């Protein structure tokens, strides 16, 4: 009888403790943000320009249920140029990202992979007939840090733009090309609002 009572008591305590733990997990997930929007700047190099490009960027994300995975989308546009002429760069991509946080969510590591479109343009300031362009379908791996409070965050991220398919007109050797390869690298800094 005592053994049955002890087993029943242990089972009730186990269920109660499991329910309390589940409740704590649900409260923690409920307090985590589900969306964010971010505005910032990106600086780096991107084809076809052999110089610095600076772009304004807008990003957003939505958490997938209670998971650590987020849908991520970004758009960026800006000027570029080198010692021979001006250019521009445009990016639009969407993908998935994940966060691993510490210190009660005040500091997070962020990583992701997007797919999208990138367009770069360049023209010679002394010869209007000499210009280059690239239109590419890109994969964009991204690593960064995200820090701040429960609503306002600052994010610093490094991303690479790898062309899966690219249409180049013309290359510096005068030939066109469609091959894959690295077409850009940017460092981004932004301020985000999450809720």
Residue 152's pLDDT is 97
Residue 161 CB contacts under 8 Å (≥ 6 apart), including other chains: 46, 91, 118, 136, 138, 140, 182, 183, 184, 185, 186
Report the alpha-carbon distance of residue 49 to residue 121 in Å, rounded: 8
Residue 129's pLDDT is 84
Report the alpha-carbon distance of residue 44 to residue 98 in Å, rounded: 24
Asked if 171 and 128 sit in the same domain, the reply is: yes
Asked if 141 and 53 sit in the same domain, the reply is: yes
Asked if 73 and 88 sit in the same domain, the reply is: yes
Asked if 25 and 42 sit in the same domain, the reply is: no
Asked if 5 and 48 sit in the same domain, the reply is: no
Q: What is the CATH number of the domain that holds 37?
A: 2.40.160.20
Asked if 20 and 88 sit in the same domain, the reply is: no
Structure tokens at 87: 């250019």
For the chain, the domain total comes to: 2
Residue 162's pLDDT is 97
Report the alpha-carbon distance of residue 140 to residue 6 in Å, rounded: 58
Asked if 143 and 89 sit in the same domain, the reply is: yes
Asked if 126 and 170 sit in the same domain, the reply is: yes
Asked if 52 and 114 sit in the same domain, the reply is: yes
Question: Could you state, in chain order, the average pLDDT of each consecutive group of 10 residues for the chain (195 residues)?
Answer: 48 44 42 91 90 94 93 95 89 96 93 97 88 95 96 97 92 60 95 97
Q: What is the SS3 assignment for 44?
A: strand
SS3 sequence of 146-186: EEECCCEEEEEEEEEEEEEEEEEECCCCCCCECCCEEEEEE
Residue 16's pLDDT is 43
Asked if 11 and 47 sit in the same domain, the reply is: no
Report the alpha-carbon distance of residue 38 to residue 77 in Å, rounded: 15
Report the alpha-carbon distance of residue 108 to residue 103 in Å, rounded: 9
Strand pairing category for 52-63 and 131-148:
unpaired
Asked if 57 and 79 sit in the same domain, the reply is: yes
Asked if 59 and 120 sit in the same domain, the reply is: yes
Give the domain extent around 163: 33-194
Closest CA to 24 of 35, 16, 12, 36: 16
């Amino acid at each position: 009888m005592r053994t049955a009572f002890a087993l029943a008591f242990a089972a009730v305590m186990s269920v109660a403790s499991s329910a309390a733990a589940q409740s704590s997990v649900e409260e923690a997930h409920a307090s985590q943000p589900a969306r964010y929007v971010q505005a910032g700047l990106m600086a780096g190099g991107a084809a076809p320009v052999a110089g610095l490009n600076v772009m304004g960027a807008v990003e957003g994300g939505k958490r997938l249920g209670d998971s650590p995975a987020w849908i991520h989308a970004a758009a960026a546009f800006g000027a570029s140029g080198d010692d021979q002429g001006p250019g521009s760069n445009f990016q639009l991509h969407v993908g998935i990202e994940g966060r691993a946080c510490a210190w009660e969510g005040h500091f997070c590591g962020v990583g992701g992979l997007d797919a999208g479109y990138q367009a770069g343009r360049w023209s010679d300031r002394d010869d209007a007939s000499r210009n280059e362009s690239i239109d590419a379908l890109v994969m964009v791996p991204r690593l960064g840090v995200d820090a701040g409070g429960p609503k306002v965050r600052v994010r610093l991220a490094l991303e690479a733009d790898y062309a899966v398919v690219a249409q180049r007109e013309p290359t510096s050797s005068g030939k066109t090309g469609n091959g894959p390869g690295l077409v850009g690298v940017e460092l981004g800094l932004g301020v985000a609002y999450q809720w």
